[in-house]
Amino acid sequence: MQPKEVDPNIYLDRSGLPELVVQSMGLGTQIGLSLTSFFDDPARVASGAVLGAGLGFGLPLLLNHNKPVHVTQAGIYNFGARLGLINGTLIPMLWNENDSKVTATMPGILGLAGLGAGILLYPHSNLTPGQISALSSGLGFGVVSGVLGLMMFNISLDSLPSVATAGLLFANGGVLGAYLARDIFDIDRSRVIMIDFGGIMGAAVGAGFGFLLGGDDAPQQLMAGSVLAGIYTGLITAYILTDGHDHFRRSASNEGVAEDTVGSLKLKTPTPTVVSSIDPNTGKNIVGFGVNFLSGSW
């Protein structure tokens, strides 16, 4: 008897659709508001936020109807839009742009360009959800590192070209660094989130340490250096402490261990183990360390 054929559409991977819709609404609001800032009429300016949110909600549902939407796909689309928004905010500051319409609309223009680039690059990206999250982390922590670096060297934040230069270098450098090290960040997305949280907590601890050393009158350089050191100490510490928290690696290690079976005795990859034995001279139990090669029964 032939098995009943099942509609393959029920197996579509649409795990990324909720994230795509929610984040597109937020990003669409920012992009729409930026683009309509070109008008002088406040009502038209405000309409951009409403239209952007509506399109951000509706277009992902409409264009992806009965189509797979992987988590990586949603991540790349949203990352591209965020990258464009941040660069669009910083670029006009390089030459101290005085035209408010240019500074207001540039983020929206580059945000749309970044979204388009994400859509075009996704089929060729071959990135995991953890890797694309690491790109977003590099972008966010890069911007913060650039600003803190200026403060550490006592460069005034009132100098917009200096802020823009540092922000662009560190933001895009963070993204580039995360991409080049993508094999290192071939980890669960949940672990990347925990590492990000470690960086945030590190920043808080660093700020507290700065106030502890300098008090109410803690100099700017000390506070910036303490926060910056706290961020990267937190990131590194969280990365180390979450080692082994990758679900897919645990599954692979449990299911993909090569074993040679001889009867009921299994020869396994050597692993460190605790060895317990009785000393025949004293009768005491001895606990030590050894290597386990075998499992099963004789």
Question: Could you report the per-residue pLDDT of 263-277, keeping only the tens digit for each?
Answer: 444 444 444 444 444
| 1: in domain | no
Regarding predicted confidence, which is higher, 271 or 107?
107
- Which pLDDT does position 185 carry in this prediction? 67
Look up residue 181 and give its DSSP letter.
Answer: T
* Domain C-terminal end among 107, 126, 145: 126
pTM, two decimals, is 0.74
Q: What is the phi-psi region of residue 147: left when phi exceeds 0, alpha when psi lies from -120 to 50, beta otherwise?
A: alpha
Answer yes or no: is 4 within a domain.
no
Of the listed ranges 25-34, 109-118, 146-155, 201-210, the one predicted with least confidence: 146-155
Would the pLDDT of 155 be above 50?
A: yes
281 in the same domain as 214: no
Which H or E run includes 95?
Answer: none
Q: How far apart are CA 296 and CA 266, in angstroms?
A: 6
State yes or no: pLDDT of 249 exceeds 70.
no
- Domain boundary among the residues 126, 146, 175 is at 126
d(CA 290, CA 275): 6
- Residue with the bigger pLDDT between 181 and 11: it is 181
What is the count of structural domains for the chain? Answer: 3
Note the pLDDT of residue 261.
40
Pick the closest to residue 122 from 184, 161, 70 (CA basis). Answer: 70
Q: Does 79 fall in a domain?
A: yes
- Averaged pLDDT, 245-261: 48
Distances (CA, A) of 128 to 4, 96, 266, 269: 34, 38, 34, 28
Express each pLDDT in 185-234 by its tens digit.
Answer: 678 888 999 999 999 999 999 999 999 988 888 888 999 999 999 999 99
Token pair for 53:
């949110």
What confidence score (pLDDT) does residue 187 get? 81
> Does residue 90 sit within a domain?
yes
The reported pLDDT for the residue numbered 79 is 95
Check whether residue 24 and residue 49 sit in a common domain: yes
Same domain, residue pair 264 and 286: yes
Beta partners for residue 198, in sequence order: none
Residue with tokens 């859509």: 119
Whether residues 31 and 76 share a domain: the answer is: yes
Condensed to tens digits (0 to 9), the pLDDT of residues 43-91 reads 988 999 999 999 999 999 998 888 888 888 999 999 999 999 999 999 9
Write down the pLDDT at residue 31: 94
- Which domain, by its residues, includes 290? 259-296
**Domain-located, residue 291:** yes
User: Both 165 and 199 in a single domain?
Assistant: yes
Tell me what pLDDT residue 148 has.
93
Nearest alpha-carbon partner for 222 in 141, 153, 145, 162: 153
Same-domain status, 149 and 101 = no
Q: Residue 2: inside a domain, yes or no? A: no
Whether residues 41 and 101 fall in one domain:
yes
